Amino acid sequence: MSAARRGAIPRGSPRSARRAGGVADVAAGESCTVLVLAAGRSTRMKSEKSKLLHLLRGKPILARTLVNAGEVGRVYCVVGDGADEMRAIAEEHGAQVIVQEPPLGTGHAVLCAEQSLRGRSGTLLILNGDVPLAGPEILSSLVAFHVARRCDLTVLSTRPPDPGRYGRIVRRGSDLEAIVEYLDASARVRAVGEINAGIYCARIPAVFPYLHKLTNKNEKREYYLTDLVAVLRRARRKVACMFMPAWRELLGINDRTDLDEAEAILNRGKIRALQREGVSVRSSCNTFIGDDVSIAPDTTVHPFSIIDGKTRIGRHCVIMPFTRVVDSTLGDRVTVLGSSLIVDSVIEGGSTVGPFCHLRGRTRILRDSKVGNFVEMKKTAFGPASKAMHLTYLGDATVGEAVNVGAGTITCNYDGVSKNPTHVERGVFIGSGTELVAPVRVGEGAYVAAGSTITEDVPAGSLGIARARQITKEGWAARRKGKS
Ligand code: UD1
Ligand code: CA
| CB of 250 closer than 6 angstroms to any ligand 1 atom | no
129 CA closest ligand 1 atom index: 30
| CB of 42 closer than 6 angstroms to any ligand 1 atom | no
Question: What span, in angstroms and rounded, lies between the C-alpha atoms of 294 and 315?
Answer: 11
- 139 alpha carbon, distance to own chain's centre: 21
Under a CB-based contact definition with an 8 Å cutoff, are residues 70 and 91 in contact?
Answer: no
| CB of 365 closer than 6 angstroms to any ligand 1 atom | no
Residues of the chain with pLDDT under 70: 1-30, 484
- 351 alpha carbon, distance to own chain's centre: 28
Residue 135's alpha-carbon distances to 68, 244, 250, 411, in angstroms, are: 5, 13, 9, 50
Helix (H) or strand (E) holding 168: strand 168-172
**238 C-alpha to ligand 1 centroid (Å):** 23
Q: What is the pLDDT of residues 106-155, one digit of tens each?
A: 999 999 999 999 999 999 999 999 999 999 999 999 999 999 999 999 99
User: Which of 387, 397, 379 has the alpha carbon at shortest distance from 429?
Assistant: 387
CB within 8 A of 328, min separation 6: which ones?
Answer: 309, 311, 312, 342, 343, 344, 345, 346, 347, 359
Residue having the nearest C-alpha atom to atom 25 of ligand 1 = 40
Q: What is the pLDDT of residues 218-241, one digit of tens each?
A: 999 999 999 999 999 999 999 999
| CB of 167 closer than 6 angstroms to any ligand 1 atom | yes
Residue having the nearest C-alpha atom to atom 34 of ligand 1 = 40
Which of 43, 50, 64, 106, when mutated, tests ligand 1's pocket best, judged by the most ligand atoms within 8 Å of its CB?
106
pLDDT at 7: 39
Question: What span, in angstroms and rounded, lies between the C-alpha atoms of 105 and 39?
Answer: 9
The upper half-sphere exposure of residue 370, i.e. CA atoms within 13 Å in the direction of its Cβ, equals 11
Under a CB-based contact definition with an 8 Å cutoff, are residues 254 and 261 in contact?
Answer: no
pTM, two decimals, is 0.89
Under a CB-based contact definition with an 8 Å cutoff, are residues 371 and 386 in contact?
Answer: no
| CB of 80 closer than 6 angstroms to any ligand 1 atom | no
Question: What span, in angstroms and rounded, lies between the C-alpha atoms of 328 and 2?
Answer: 30
| CB of 157 closer than 6 angstroms to any ligand 1 atom | no
Question: What span, in angstroms and rounded, lies between the C-alpha atoms of 429 and 432?
Answer: 10
Give the other-Cβ count within 10 Å of 3's Cβ: 12
pLDDT at 29: 52
Helix (H) or strand (E) holding 265: helix 256-276
CB within 8 A of 64, min separation 6: which ones?
Answer: 56, 132, 133
Which of 128, 165, 192, when mutated, tests ligand 1's pocket best, judged by the most ligand atoms within 8 Å of its CB?
128
**372 C-alpha to ligand 1 centroid (Å):** 53
Residue 212 designated active-site = no
